[in-house]
Amino acid sequence: MDSLLIRGGTPLHGEVTVSGAKNAVLPILAATLLTAERCVIRRVPRLSDVTFMVQILRSLGAEVAMEGNTITVESPQIKGVGDYDLIRKMRGSICILGPLLGRLREASVSLPGGCVIGLRPVDLHLKGLRALGTSIEVRNGNIVAKAPDLRGAEIFLGGRSGPTVLGTANVMMAAVLAEGVTIIESAACEPEVTDLAVFLNAMGARITGAGSPTITIQGVSKLHGAEHEVIPDRIEAATFAIAAAVTNGEITIKGARAEHLGAVLDKLREAGVSIERKGTSLIVKRAGKLRPVDITTMPYSGFPTDAQAQMMVLMAVTEGTSIITERIFEGRFMHVPELARLGTDIAIEGPSAIVKGGKPLSGAPIMASDLRASAALVIAGMVAEGETVVNRIYHLDRGYENIDEKLRGLGAQIERVAER
């Protein structure tokens, strides 16, 4: 198992290009199961999660070819039973349920795994699919679903922490081949949901309203093959922007879509970070002394939970007190004890973290607990004095394409080593 060895104290400078969005590509790859015809997906990030999804598609009978950042899928014949050993490794694998129901009218999919960052149930997925006429049982750790008569319906997908992104994706993918009209209320508005809808429409689906709380789907009898380029990863772009601010560097982030980053860019500017848009690039640097800001994570277009840990590091090196409140996932502060090993002063009070910033950080061995925590620990290591070793970086490889190589290209002293 690999670790990252980081020697801190070097500001980041240069240019970096954003990869395709992990949270968009997984349901898009799943959606290729909805047709027997050839689908070509471009700007696919080379991630372990993508590798798992490709293995899942192949286990279902799909023919998958990977060349660089392009994946071609043909699924003339597929089966409706997912492989437990593959699906248990990745929460995003639940998104095969909707396409299998849409195409085969039945599916058996094991409950998925993934990052351990609090309770992330699939009850809203099942609620939406049941509304379409699916009978569902959960037995022996498997979701067993049958829908011989898949029909459109009006479905409310709001939950305790807001809309469900993968739940919205699953219902959309089942509904495109259902008879009649489906209306999803309190749908997730994330750009990744919109990107999925763009791909489905290219396949012949009839979806309107994606990106808004109300999505309307007119069912069709059949979908065909299509080509699609995945949107840039907004969380990767946010991670690099925050890293530039933390290290007091100046970087150009190429390919980022500022319109997907509104809340993050707003908070960075409030914290004293300069962000200049230049075509499809963002130029990020400090604009003076950093200022503490309060943050509350919210569903899109609010501040994303996936950038919370990284922003906490920025506040930890900023003089003053800031409050970061997590409203999406309980238990998403597992990076706090590891940051404390580097010298941060952060106290947890219920759903909030009280960050007393401005203290110098010093390197230490630390351990990643989940994907975004891993990125935060790497950023902290780049500003800490001395050496930091980030262990268990397999989490990082799930969601960031070649992040250590990209950071080295910006001047970071970082290397991948066998775990100590």
Catalytic positions, written as ranges: 115
* Residue of 333, 329, 331 lying closest to 313 (CA atoms): 333
SS (H, E, C) the chain: CEEEEEECCCCCEEEEECCECHHHHHHHHHHHHHCCCCEEEECCCCCHHHHHHHHHHHHCCCEEEEECCEEEEECCCCCCECCHHHHCCCHHHHHHHHHHHHHHCEEEEECCCCCCCCCCCCHHHHHHHHHCCCEEEEECCEEEEECCCCECCEEECEECCEECHHHHHHHHHHHCCCECEEEEECCCCCHHHHHHHHHHHHCCCEEECCCCCEEEEECCCCCCCCEEECCECHHHHHHHHHHHHHCCCEEEEECCCHHHCHHHHHHHHHCCEEEEEECCEEEEEECCCCCCCCEEECCCCCECHHHHHHHHHHHHCCCEEEEEECCCCCCCCCCHHHHHHCCCCEEEECCEEEEEECCCCECCEEECCCHHHHHHHHHHHHHCECEEEEECCHHHHHHCCCHHHHHHHCCCEEEEEECC
Cα 301-303-93 angle, rounded to 5 deg: 80
